[in-house]
Amino acid sequence: MALIDYLVQGGQMLLVLMLAPLLTGWVRWVKARLLRRRGPSPLQPYRDLVKLS
């Protein structure tokens, strides 16, 4: 494999790792809305990660 292939794969892994908390937050937000509740912000998982760091 060429160097560019490794860079693309690394970029894809970083993208998935960075967007995974957003997807989790969005699912929680939608579930809360379906139950007619306010629910947390979709960005709450990022805040939790910062707080844990």
Residue 46 C-alpha from the chain's centroid: 8
Tens digit of each residue's pLDDT (9 = 90 or more) over 1-53: 799 999 999 999 999 999 999 999 999 999 999 999 999 999 999 999 999 98
Q: What per-residue confidence (pLDDT) applies to 1?
A: 79
Give residue for tokens 């990660």.
Answer: 49
Per-residue tokens: 3: 């160097």
Contact 29, 39 (CB under 8 A): yes
Q: What per-residue confidence (pLDDT) applies to 13?
A: 98
Which is nearest to 45 in space by CA: 21, 19, 20? 21
* Burial of residue 28, with CB atoms counted within 10 A of its CB: 0-12 exposed, 13-18 middle, 19 or more buried: middle
Predicted TM-score (pTM) of this structure: 0.78
Q: Where exactly are the structural domains of the chain? A: 20-53
Q: What per-residue confidence (pLDDT) applies to 10?
A: 98
